Amino acid sequence: MPFSFLCRAVWCVVLVASASAQTAAPLPASIPTQIPGQNAILMGTAWYPEQWPESRWEEDLRMMESADVKVVRIAEFAWSRMEPSEGHYDFAWLERAINLAGKHHIVSVLGTPTATPPAWLTRKYPDTLRVEPGSQRVTHGNRAHASASSPRYREFCRRIAEEMAMRFGHNPNVVGWQIDNEYGYALMSYDEGTHRQFQDWLQAKYKTLDSLNEHWTTAYWSQTYDNWEEIPIPIGGHNPGLMLDWKHFVTYTWTSYQQNQIDVIRKHAEPRQFITGNFMGFFDGFDHYIITEPLSFASWDDYVGSGHVDPAYNGLAHDLTRGFKRQNFWVMETQPGAVNWSSLNNFLNRGEARAMAWQAIGHGADDVNYWQWRSALNGQEEIHGVLVGPDGTPVPFLDEVSQTAHEFAKVESSFRDTAPLSQVALLYSYDSHWAIQFQKHTEKYDDIGLLKSYYRALRQISQSVDVVSAYAPLDGYKLVAAPSLEVLPKALADHLLEYVSHGGHLVLGPRSGMKDEFNALLPQRQPGYLADALGARVEQYYALEKDVPLSGTWGMGEASIWAEQLATKASGGEVLLKYGKSNGWLDDQPAVVTRAYGKGRITYIGAALDDKLMAAAAEWMTQKSGVTAVFGPLPDGVEVSRRVGPGKQVFVMINYAQETRRVNLPRSMKLVLGDRQGDAVELPPYGVAVGVAGGK
């Protein structure tokens, strides 16, 4: 079932009703994520020619070409150079830069510059600047300081995007567009105009105040509204229904802000030019499933910050991004050794960035871009990591990037028309995440951490996991786990039950089925509309002061942070784990239950399990569901990823351990990085191997 068939119903009404909404232009049937005539997997960088004399450009591009850099992202911060005064445009320099890059076999992705409005704009039209929650209007000089909800600002954004599209929409060296830059991180303006837009959005959604008051249960604490103008923007703790709708409105605002630019680009650009946006992993300012719908594919910016890469978390973020549109993606920015914005801006170990780049490819990226090419001589990010220093000569890190780019170029044909293929899916819901964040009940509750624990255990066994919307088509998965599906309306429950009845195995985690789509408690006990199929329910939930012992089919271990007391209510249910001595209420009570339903099975895990029990749970889940490893046994510290194409499988093997690991291959493969056939490979720390085999 498409994601839009359920939760989008309200959005459709609102989008039609709002005067600021725009109809999305139809996309071509297929816009390839790989660039025709170029490598199937690409290496790139962010390049800012506007910061340097034009006489320097040729040398920069020569160095890029020598390093096998194939892509530059360009112009996303250059509004003041492209429109130095209102209505006066200068694209000649940009066209020269793009064409010169093309001469060096480098294609360009154009960023619309709307994250950084020029000073003339914000000074002449101060209403385009954001207002903070404390009513302070931000000043010029940073980025993302404009208001995404300002009609005047949107008009300026539309104009610059359209002028760019008219100039470069048919340039053969321009392969695609990035809308704005990391939009949403500054969130919303809290001015009166935005406030009125929110009230109008609510009126379009609920139609009547009676409906809104009913769904928000405003009889509580005398919150009942008699006029739409009484409804505030929620700042701090507030009515849960109001808070969730504010998140929906924020999503709507950024989606229409994005569409404002997409429409004019599509009007003038060739269909071959893609449109994407660079998102930020688990940034939760808006619903990414909605905002990525009109894009050709999703992209994200992959940064470690302090410390070193956690392969499980980084892989999870890749798979989350791939799951936004359930297709391959780009890494539009990644860490060039170190950043400048973290608490400790340490440098990645030698070889670590290469491992990160190859992990991205293994998880479905078709491009990895480093931010940035050369240090700016001033500005807020002047000591951020780079590939070329302020003197114009390479920093040592460029060698590692060049090595990886040469490897991409060498083996790219093996990756053509390939994508990850998984038997296991994890469901991630923004509504559920927001609802939990609003009312965590214990400050220690971390739904992203819980998602990661499921991911780590399940991926170690299956070696491939999709992370998708709860509304995504599920028919192709043997196992679907939803670690924190707190918001579970009837239509979604029906969607999940259809999957189970046809033979799927659905695993629910704690807090599942507590609320409806309005963030209101369901009158049924957890897991709500799925309780009858489960044949069990949650009697009570507990925020834990200390760990609680668990034992049963999966062995012995502990629950921490959160525990739910379950009770079976129908025949056919099986208790897999029980609590040990605890607070008296949990003692000897069921913690995990499972039951066959239709041709499939539902399992409910009512506690946050320790790593040992989570591993045992994953072993049981995969065996019960018939999930098999895509590769086979691996030594500790080694990750394998698979991409599947017509008549071939491509395996990316990476050693994150600090000792050399020997990997025995499940069959003889062509090891394309080493130009040999083999049945085993030795991987040093951060070592990478790519094996190609036939079959599915």
CA distance 640 to 460: 9
Q: Helix (H, G, I), strand (E, B), or coil: what is residue 690?
A: strand
Instruction: Give phi and psi for 531, each to the nearest 5.
Output: -65, -40
CA distance 118 to 78: 9
**Do residues 647 and 641 touch, judged by C-beta distance below 8 A?**
no
Catalytic one among 182, 412, 517, 558? 182
Instruction: Give phi and psi for 220, each to the nearest 5.
Output: -70, 130
Closest of 57, 114, 123, 130 to residue 82, by C-alpha: 114
What are 371's two structure tokens?
């931010």
**Catalytic residue list contains 333:** yes
Q: Helix (H, G, I), strand (E, B), or coil: what is residue 82?
A: helix
Long-range contacts of 125-131 (CB under 8 A, 24+ apart): 125/152, 125/153, 125/156, 127/152, 127/191, 127/193, 128/152, 128/153, 128/156, 129/189, 130/186, 130/188, 130/189, 130/190, 130/191, 131/189, 131/190, 131/191, 131/194
What are 350's two structure tokens?
């030698």
**Do residues 320 and 357 touch, judged by C-beta distance below 8 A?**
no
**Do residues 179 and 298 touch, judged by C-beta distance below 8 A?**
no
Catalytic one among 333, 407, 517, 564? 333
DSSP string covering 148-210: TT-HHHHHHHHHHHHHHHHHHTT-TTEEEEE-SSSTTTT----SHHHHHHHHHHHHHHHSSHH
Cα distances (Å, whole numbers) of residue 292 to 276, 302, 596: 8, 17, 36
Long-range contacts of 58-66 (CB under 8 A, 24+ apart): 58/100, 59/392, 60/373, 60/374, 60/388, 60/392, 61/100, 61/101, 61/103, 61/104, 61/106, 62/104, 63/388, 63/394, 64/101, 64/104, 64/106, 64/373, 65/104, 65/105, 65/106, 66/402
Closest of 354, 367, 464, 369 to residue 412, by C-alpha: 367
Q: Hey, which residues are catalytic here?
A: 182, 333
